[in-house]
A and B are shown apart, each in its own frame.
Chain A
Amino acid sequence: MWYLCVFFHRLLDYRRPEVEALAELFGAFGEENGDIKRSLEWRLPEHHHHDSPFHFVDLPSDDVARRIANRSILVKGIYELWGEGSSYEELEEAIKGYPDERKLPYLISESTFRITVDSFGKVISFQEQNERIQGLAYIPFKFSILSVVVLHLKSVYFQGRVNLRNPDHRFWLMETDDYGSNNGLPPVLQKRIFFGREVGAADRKLLPTYQLKSRNYLGPTAMDAEMAFLMANQALTTPGKLVYDPFVGTGSILIAAAHFGAMTMGADIDIRVVRDGRGPDCNVWSNFKQYGLPMPISLLRADNNLPPWRPGLKEVFDAIICDPPYGVRAGGRKSGGRKLLKGTVGPYTVPDNKRTDHIPSTAPYSLAECVHDLLDLAARMLVMEGRLVFFYPVLREDGSTDTNFPEHPCFTLVAVCEQILSLRYSRVLLTMVKTDPYSEEVAESAMKKHLEFKENHLKWLEDGNLHSAVFSPADPQMEMAGDSKFNKDSKPKYRGKYV
């Protein structure tokens, strides 16, 4: 059945993939075997651009729609559409034409209801909102005398009482106006009005509870709560699963996974972050304690380049969710010591009496190698159909992004979501599903692919690293072309992908 899905207007690339992931989680795809690329059918309202918050989606039932909306971070609400139109007259026609057997169950006298007026691209004053609600008189609601609005009653009414705080049924009247290109949004050619019954809505208490600004232990690259929950959703996190983060840091991603009921495990090469934190009450464990979440099964100090896993071990984790170091604000490290790896110095033996507290030297860990190791780890340690969700940085050139992502024979890429971070670069959340089992042959072919990838696609690594590409001084040509960072001659840019 088709529902109206209204998104929060942010992180545009992440919206539909999140719904798709949650649809899979809540069984929308049924028992059909076949392609891993099962996906939902989507449509856009007339005159609406893909970036609009209003989308139509085909979901199997109210129950699935409700569960998706409740768990989602970017869905504001999912509605059963009773009518839409470009004018209030058209809307009335549509609503009257909507089958009674779908409407009447929600208009019975014993139930309470509330109508909310909402708008996108404009502001509707309180008085105008009331007028709008009044205009819906042809729908057989009956308002009690305690309500704010006075209605013209037109025909036989089914009783129902208004309850603004906790109604049984919520109805929404949503209006999108023809906002022009002056605020940077792609224009909606015509006004469109929707009226629907709310089937499910977002849990708005989630983000304020977990926001980073009140978190106990933070680090410079702690994942913000919204994004951490999005990642956990992309990874289909549910109770009973085991989720691993090989770059755990302060544990911000694992917190989101633990909130959704999974057991977690993390590793980091920096023992100070993982073991000590900033004190006995300010460390990864205290973060979990702060929210009353079950502690991680364990945290280790390990090097993903030389992982400590038992050779025969495989298919243990249900999901691996992480944010590898891109080398922009925090660089990756691996064992070895720079000189050691270059062969300048031979491997030295640490004297026995110094061994206990010896901190092995580490060397810079290039992004390409880091991602290859991550893919190898995931290929080995994920269960079949397990998900690998991680961020990958990309340099933006001429406003478009390079679409060559790392690959591995065991994985199928199911979602790519870009978040623009600055004029120069963005990061992309890649969601991969393990579709083929791991073997020695697979590992070898992956290594070859990796070397090829490094050759062909990472030219920006030649001169140094992503860090210098991002932070190099502004191109003097750009400054001459126009004022400030935005060149007016190029395609109009708008906020959507930046938030």
Chain B
Amino acid sequence: MRLLTDYMLSSNIKGVTNGFPLRLEVEKSVEKEVDFNADFLKNMFPKIEWKALVDAFRSMGYTELPNEAESPMLDSKEFLKKFHHALLQLHLEEGALICPETGRRFPVSKGIPNMLLHEDEVFDEVYQIESQF
């Protein structure tokens, strides 16, 4: 699971208001090589909230990226390489994503996070919606 994903997920357990960002518990992390794709990085950059992403990187132990970033920085090959490395080459193979509010662990095994909620974590709203059907 790459860090871009961690950035996108949150804990949607019923009643939780602050399920983001999920903290990373790293048991096994791997660096896998990925072909450098400048188009993709430039495309993703404006869609991302940089601060949140940098925090996720930090918890994986990657501290090479600046706290703030603006689009002119995309022209620097060096910046792009670091961005590429952090976004796509760092993998969380085994570990967990932790809900900041409840501490609930979403396990990550073989690189795949399991975001399914248990029966008692499912939103109350579900019952309301269901009763309309």
Contact = CB atoms under 8 A, between A and B. Distances in A.
A298 B120 contact: no
A341 B125 CA distance: 11
- Tell me if A's interface is mostly helix, strand, loop or mixed: loop
Nearest to B92: A298
Contacts of B117: 303, 306, 335, 360
A191 interface: no
Given A269-B116, A275-B112, A335-B116, A241 B43 contact: yes
Interface in A444-488: 451, 454
Given A242-B44, A310-B8, A315-B47, A299 B119 contact: no
B119 A297 contact: no
Contacts of B40: 239-242, 263
Contact of B119 (A308, A309, A360): A360
Contacts of B8: 309-310, 313, 316
Contacts of B109: 275
Nearest to B52: A310
B10 interface: yes
B12 A306 contact: yes
Interface residues of B, number: 45
A301 B2 contact: no
A358 interface: yes
Interface in A214-271: 239-242, 263, 265, 269, 271
Interface string B93-129: 0000000000000010111111111111011001100
Interface in B18-41: 19-21, 32, 34-35, 37, 39-40
A358 B19 CA distance: 21
B82 interface: no
Interface in B30-72: 32, 34-35, 37, 39-40, 42-44, 47, 49
Contacts of A263: 37, 40
Interface string A281-316: 000000000000011011111110011111111011
A343 interface: yes
A355 interface: yes
A301 B88 contact: no
Nearest to B119: A347
A356 interface: yes
17 contacts: A239-B39, A239-B40, A242-B40, A242-B44, A298-B111, A300-B113, A306-B12, A306-B117, A308-B115, A309-B10, A336-B119, A340-B119, A350-B119, A355-B118, A360-B116, A360-B119, A454-B133
Given A311-B10, A358-B118, 19 more contacts: A239-B37, A239-B39, A241-B40, A242-B40, A263-B37, A265-B5, A300-B1, A300-B9, A306-B117, A306-B126, A308-B11, A311-B19, A312-B20, A315-B47, A316-B47, A341-B127, A360-B116, A360-B117, A451-B132
Interface of A: 239-242, 263, 265, 269, 271, 274-276, 294-295, 297-303, 306-313, 315-316, 318, 335-337, 340-343, 347-350, 355-356, 358, 360-361, 366, 369, 383, 451, 454
